[in-house]
Structure 1
């Protein structure tokens, strides 16, 4: 069993050099595992990604060279291949896959330096466009929103976004208003669904990539395909619980996401464990959040659950202050409550709105839901 080379993932060039060797049979990378370099990975491993996601539960996902290559090849078959711009942390699977796709395409990835800024994105895009290859990049919704806001004032940013043959957007649900803004601006978005356990996105715009099968079992989405992770390093129990084999020997990944597959199209409803019981009725916080995010001013809002003395549990909206939200906090909350009641029912209406200067985020760009929950709990104790 090969030893891991521990990397923080903060230096994308070090990750690029490491994954190049790992794909060719060299030492495996332990991304986010600087304190665990003694760990050993199974033969064939290219990378182990240490991640807690937004749940706060640490996992070390084992990805083979074959799984990473299968994912990259399936992406190229669906959207084409060319030159990629890395705008995400290389220590996360979406950023790592930008590097793997570049290596398999024989192109040099363009890397943003330092903090993500629209001006830097536009400058890097112009530099990448000089190579003559088709351009691709991968973003999370928060980055896309930042770029679209900047594009309203800076045509250089808008031109940069329009230069991409495809802009993959994943990591969390893409709010409809944000998707509509991008479409109106002439930006070619591709919504992706996947996780570290599937070597990144494996469903594009609702359609599984070649070689991927998705089915719903008791409302939970399960995925099979050559890009599945080998399991979790050092946790055989979790591996056995999450990765199953059916009677035919096919290996399936239990996503923990609720959803369905209709006419071959995958529809994700939210996390199976992100549910509260309010007044004896189950309420999906992911579904409430999707409805809330359609309302102007709430595109990046996070909805979390809290104990409620009357109903058992209730939901709270946490959103960053903005022009739309400066008008009337009570009015905005009522709009959200009405929208949720109309689509789900009165029992699902959020109980409160909390405005913050800036929403806590993980390095990947996703909302840090554990930090948001802690903030809400602290505010409740001081009320």
Structure 2
């Protein structure tokens, strides 16, 4: 999940000119749930995001542990540049030992920061629970920004128990990275609900999609007040200034004529002991039209039937009988280079099986 080439250093060297110019930065999205798109980000948007982050969590030294081809990795370099510091680099595959080694290259006098995805945090937490060196390293950070996908509650609780300072971030490439920290939008960012969908406005928005004016217009509409907003595709709520994301508008199946949010099903399933890291996807079903399937890489104790029944009971109680998963599958779960779950690849694999 880290970039092992010299590219991060080359990108960092070119940042001063890039951020002071007018030429946009192009980032191709991961395509974890659909077709990849090339997002056009202006230097002004990147600077606005980095400055708002510094205002929220402070400035200091940054560790790059993500590819710079993703906005979260690029923003680490931008934040370090604006803070007047040189980033540390995690070379090679992401491992606890590599993380510790990179941490030792960081100045001890400055506050430490990094951005990770949940899978990376899980790797560090598991090691920190038994290895004092890893525990000391992760505790030395003022904040670990965790984004890219939802942070499982059990993982957050384990990190808290270790004294790790985690900040949940919400955003996308179209918003220059995370623009909501622990549920609270960054300064200058406006998040509201329109038609059940979370929409975002502010100086961190991308210019649009390269070579696709129609998609740009659909994703970044201008409202009646002349305010340009980004349609996230996420459902959620904003209550007392706190943003709560409930799922994806397009991650829904119709089972027996009833709309079922797979995000809600997955959240309930992950609350069942032994299924904390389960993934729920939709598949075709001869009887119901569509149904959900639980995918896990391993089954503790080997009793998959019992886990499936426990999950079905939990989902029926929390959402309704129509949302109950039809089966449980044990297989490897694919991830993108960014560390995010590759749901599209997983759906294809299950369909083929």
State whether TM-score is above 0.5: yes
Q: Any residues of structure 2 matched to 1:283-302 within 5 Å, and which?
A: 283-302=260-279
Kept after mapping to 2: 8 A contact 1:259/1:268: yes
Does the CA contact (< 8 Å) of 1:142 and 1:365 recur in 2? yes
Change in Cα spacing, 1:318 to 1:17, as seen in structure 2 (3 Å) is same
Contact 1:15 1:91 in 2 (8 A): no
> For 2:312, which of 337, 354, 359 is the aligned residue?
337
**1:83 and 2:83 aligned:** no
3-state SS of the aligned residue for 1:194? strand
Equivalent position SS for 1:245 = coil
Question: What CA deviation, in whole Å up to 9, does each residue of 1:166-188 have, x standing for no partner?
Answer: 11111001111011111111111
Aligned residue in 2 for 1:69 = 47
2:348 aligned residue (352, 364, 374)? 374
Counterpart pick for 2:326 among 337, 345, 351: 351
Work out whether 1:112 is the aligned partner of 2:116: no
Structure-2 separation of matches of 1:77 and 1:141: 24
* CA displacement at 1:10 relative to structure 2: 7.4
Q: Which residue of 2 aligns with 1:30?
A: none
Tell me the CA shift for residue 61 of structure 1: 0.3
Which of 97, 100, 113 is the matching residue for 2:75?
A: 97
Q: 1:136-215 alignment to 2 at 5 Å?
A: 136-215=113-192
Checking the alignment, whether the CA contact within 8 Å between 2:15 and 2:81 is kept in structure 1 is no
> Secondary structure of 2:328's partner?
strand
Over the residues paired in the alignment, what is the CA RMSD in angstroms? 1.6
Q: What's the secondary structure of 2:24's corresponding residue?
A: strand
Post-superposition CA distance 1:99-134 (Å, at most 9, x none)? 100000001111100110011101211221x34110
**Pick from 5, 13, 16: which aligns with 2:9?**
13
Say yes or no: does 1:57 pair with 2:53: no
Q: Give CA deviations for 1:234-267 in whole Å, capped at 9, x if unaligned.
A: 0000000000111221110000101111111111
For residue 335 of structure 1, report the CA deviation from its aligned partner: 1.6
Which of 234, 251, 255 is the aligned partner of 1:278?
255
Q: Is the 8 A contact 1:9 1:15 kept in 2?
A: no
Flag as ranges the 4+ runs of structure 1 deviating above 3 A: 7-10
Matched, 1:364 2:341: no
Residues paired across the two proteins, number: 351
CA deviation vs aligned residue, 1:171-217 (integer Å, no higher than 9, x gap): 00111101111111111111000000000000001110000000101
Q: Aligned equivalents of 1:170 and 1:216: distance in 2?
A: 21
1:308-355 Cα offsets, whole Å, 9 max, x none, are 111110001111115x2x331111111211221121111111111111
Q: Which runs of 5+ in 1 are unaligned?
A: 1-6, 26-43
1:11 deviates by 2.2
Structure with more relative contact order (C-alpha pairs < 8 Å, separation 6 or more): 2
- The question of whether the paired residues in 1 share the 8 Å contact of 2:285 and 2:291 is answered with yes
Give, in angstroms, the shift of residue 361 of structure 1: 0.3
Shift of 1:306: 0.5
Distance 1:279 1:80, change over 3 A: same
1:22-37 equivalences under 5 Å are: 22-25=18-21
Offset, 1:19: 3.0
Give the Cα–Cα distance (whole angstroms) in 1 for the partners of residues 103 and 264 of structure 2.
35
1:239 is paired with a residue whose SS is helix
Distance 1:10 1:351, change over 3 A: farther
Label 1:131 to 1:158 Cα distance change in 2 as closer, same or farther (>3 A): closer
- Where in structure 2 are there 5+ consecutive unaligned residues? none
Cross-structure match for 2:212: 235
